Amino acid sequence: MELFEQIRREYEHGTGTIQGVAKKLRLASQEPCVPQSYRWGQEGQVDWYEAYADIGEEREKAYVFCMRSMASGGAFHCAFPHASQQAFLEAHERAFAYFGGVFETLRYDNLTLAVKKILRGHQREETTRFMAFRSHWGFESEFCTPGEGHEKGGVEGEGGYFRRNHLVPVPQLGSWEELDAWLRECSRKDEQRIIGERTETVGAGMIREREHLRALQEGFDLAAIHYPKVNASRCVRVLTNFYSTPLPVGLEVQVQVHSAYVEIWHQGECVARHERCFQRQQKVLNLEHYLDVLTKKPGAFAGSTALEQWRAQGHWPTSFDRFWEALQQRRGKQPGTRAMIDVLLLGRQYGYPLLKEAVEKALDLSCFDVEAVRLLLATERSGKREPAEAVEVGALRAYDRPQPTTQNYDQLLASCSWNGVIQ
């Protein structure tokens, strides 16, 4: 409104005249584009764009990766909660599997996940991780001029088309895995369309192009590796967060950071796996990792952060609270808590879904004892026995025998008495 008032004060011309001048200036600033043609398998374009999805009961921001074939017009979309380098590389491998091969060249903007430093012209200093990934898969990389996103206009137009046709209104899914499956289904539906003046569908072009792509091979090791030590809280620090482990304090472990989860390894064995946290200075804890410590310190159980997180995540059913309360009433507060910890330790052997069922059965039977829960678990694991097959009694009559008699013994006693044995 302020700009309008300024124009009205400084210019005496009519509205139509001003609009005409503005139109000429706008047209003069537009650069003409040169139509491009692409060979099969020659080039794919890569980009990120943001969208929203209702995951469970929360509205989440999704970072959607898109790779588009410039020859066939086919495109692959997948979503992540965070645009990390692991997600970036993992999305490439998913896209390669979707297209059935690898393009000769992939074109990007100057995203920091791939570019460490912008040099003169189109030269770039790539990140070490991206160079290793590109060398493994054998494709060339090209980067747009800074601020000139139209140089990869194919994938940018694809992102806008996909968002308008599939992400409005906001999709509602139960998990990130369901969102990914839904995005793949939408990508498959788009294969049925015909783009512009082409004579075949996108899907038909993708089938033809598959023969010209570089063959797929064994995947690249996508995980970032760290070697932290277990601290006094039985956690290891990974980037800006802490993850619990069942290992002793001071032990050095290997941590593999993936796009969606974190694994802790020791002596060739995965000892813990957590969902990856993208916040800062957070503790991601598993109550099971502290049970052996809590058997010696039962007073720390009720207020433990790990228990609080289990409650928030839905891993602690109300039946556990009822059973715990019953144990405390029968044995006392501390002995009852220690008994509840012993019950939870059974989950390591039998699994927590079975433990939940056993605790609920014990409550129904009013059996508030650790050994009762153990017996119910063992019975459940052994399985229910099949009832014995009924046998026709008539078939056994051939084996009938008369009842025994004691008369013969009476005769023996009489004989012994006559011989003077029994007086």
Number of separate domains in the chain: 3
- Mean pLDDT on 159-175: 93
Q: Are residues 304 and 185 in the same domain?
A: no
Start-to-end C-alpha separation, the chain: 139
Domain boundary among 265, 284, 303: 284
Question: b vs e for 172-188, b when ≥16 Cβ sit within 10 Å of the residue's Cβ?
Answer: ebeebeebbebbeebbe
Do residue 266 and residue 337 come from a single domain?
A: no
Asked if residue 180 and residue 197 are part of one domain, the reply reads yes
Q: What is the pLDDT of residues 265-313, one digit of tens each?
A: 999 999 999 999 988 999 999 999 999 999 999 999 999 999 999 999 8
Range of the domain at 240: 224-284
Q: Can you name the residues that pair with 214 across neighbouring β-strands? A: 102
pLDDT one-digit tens code per residue, 188-247: 999 999 998 888 999 999 999 999 999 999 989 888 899 999 999 999 999 999 999 999
- What Rg do the C-alpha atoms of the chain give, in angstroms? 36
State whether 63 and 104 are in the same domain: yes
Q: Are residues 296 and 348 in the same domain?
A: yes
Domain endpoint, select from 175, 210, 245: 210
Query: Model pTM?
Result: 0.72
Asked if pLDDT for residue 151 goes beyond 80, the answer is no
- 188 and 128, same structural domain? yes
Q: Are residues 136 and 57 in the same domain?
A: yes
Phi and psi based region of residue 372 (left: phi greater than 0; alpha: psi -120 to 50; beta: remaining): alpha
Is 302 inside a domain boundary?
yes
Domain boundary among 167, 187, 210: 210
Domain assignment present for 343: yes
Together in a domain, 155 and 88: yes
- Domain check: are 167 and 88 in the same one? yes
